[in-house]
Structure 1
Amino acid sequence: MKGKILASIITALLLAALLLPLSCSRPSADVVAGSSLITDIVQDIADGKLEVRTLIPPGMCPGHYDVKPSDVETLANSKVLIIHNWQQNMKNITGLIEAADNPDLIIKVIDVKGNWMAPLVQAEAVDKIAQALGEIDQGNSAYYQEKAATRTQAILAKGEEVKNRLREVKVEEVKVICADMQAGFVKWAGFDIVATYGRPEDLSVAGVEKLVVEAKDAGVALVIDNLQSGTTATSEAMAKDIGAIQVTISNFPGGFEDTETWEKAIDKNVDLLLQALTQYREQYG
């Protein structure tokens, strides 16, 4: 009996020793992406050849994200960090890089200006990211370029499909005010932008009153807010005072449920905008 018990203990210890490296493995990735916009592109054109993790959750403001210890550990054990050009001087990013203390880390800054939800900007970002991946992984450079070309064609086709939906309801005749962070996309969509506004915490009472007066005088139909800017209380109040409809859209895939790709995210944004426009026309004529 004692022999059987001893054998069982030895077996358990051996099993624990084998499993220990797995349970204590350090989080890592081939690529850490500064946003879900970058993640979506890398996943598509790398197609499984590179493991990628997203740093900033898609529903959050990139500048207000508090870096977690797990982020530091992941970056410390990863090969590449790919970020937007507007992220390179953010304190949370520079602090993360310093804390990770990874001397072998390759940092790629994607210098693409404009709103990445707009198709032409998205297409430019795909090209720049494909170039970056080719420099990192030269053996698969041609593959990444080929995948990027395919994705670009799909983006432009999707953009035309979406634009046709917007043209059908004559959005060019619809006056709006919108969050600064959404101006690029809203302009691409074809709406007539009367004015833009900043983050809620940056707005003064006088500034809001001025916006409301300007919007009323212009006959604004929609107040378009940015999901990642946080609370929508201010934009909702403005819409009520103006006699408009408030709608919130996202700048990142995954901001809303079931929108993990750019294609799904742009469809969701347009659905929300058209629903709001329909509501305005039914309510205000």
Structure 2
Amino acid sequence: MDILAYTYGYAAHEAEAGITYDFSEINLWQSTPWRSLSHGLFLTMLSMGLIVGAVAVANPATAQVLRSGMNGEAVAEVQSLLRNQGFSIAYGANGAGRGRFGPQTETAVRNFQRRAGLTVDGIVGPQTLSRLRGGGPGTGGPSPARPSARVSMLGPNSKGDQVAELQTLLRNKGYSISYGADGSGRGVYNQSTINAVRQFQRDAKISVDGIAGPQTFAALRGGTAAAAAPARAATPAPAASQGQYRINTRTRPLNVRTGPGEQYSVATTLAHGTVVNVTGQTNGWAQIAPGRFVTTRFIQRI
């Protein structure tokens, strides 16, 4: 709007001062009567072009379309959003698949589009990305269900969209919840969900009972757990679980992540056979140094 205001203000100044322009040397279209074109109109056209360009830069959703073969952080974000909704995308043992739009990601996108009632083309455009992020009716469909204060007491054997939202909130904070290879665990209050709820409640310093009630949801949505997972250290492990372990991946190096979960970035890798000192464990992840975690699946007690 500032650009348009300036344009019209300057056009008024030109009219008052008797300033005219000859645009005949601008040969964009031969049939355009540039000599007689209003300078105000010309400036307006130029301004609108600048505005459209600015909008495209300011809003990546309108400027970027992701498809098979593309790489980068935008693809990694889509993969995380899909995984959080229960779609299976494997990054590989060394995490090399993260940020790569390969066949698994395309399949997951198609399945999501089919479930969301969108055009199924395997391409992540503005509408698909908006729905993945939880967009409402104005961006392609209804908002995800959110538990109300009256019905938000969730516990073992609970199922449905409210449980799925709970799981997504926990996973977004770095707590490990497995949906299973086929995604059937999404929306089911299983043991890994109970464990994650208990760990979050402990970190948030609220009553630890494994039940997701109004207080737990308020803490999850409001961040009152002090963004628990990203900054927290591993839960001190029993003495029997602490000590020296050997990396056992047979051939490939093991990713060392900055937090206890696959959604955290890879800080470095360790070769098969490397000895590490485990100081704590949480939800299947072992802490080997401040801010450094490895999965317990590939370590062996010495």
TM-score (norm: length of structure 1):
0.30
Q: Which has the higher contact order (CA 8 A, sep 6+)?
A: 1
Higher gyration radius (CA): 2
TM-score (norm: length of structure 2):
0.29
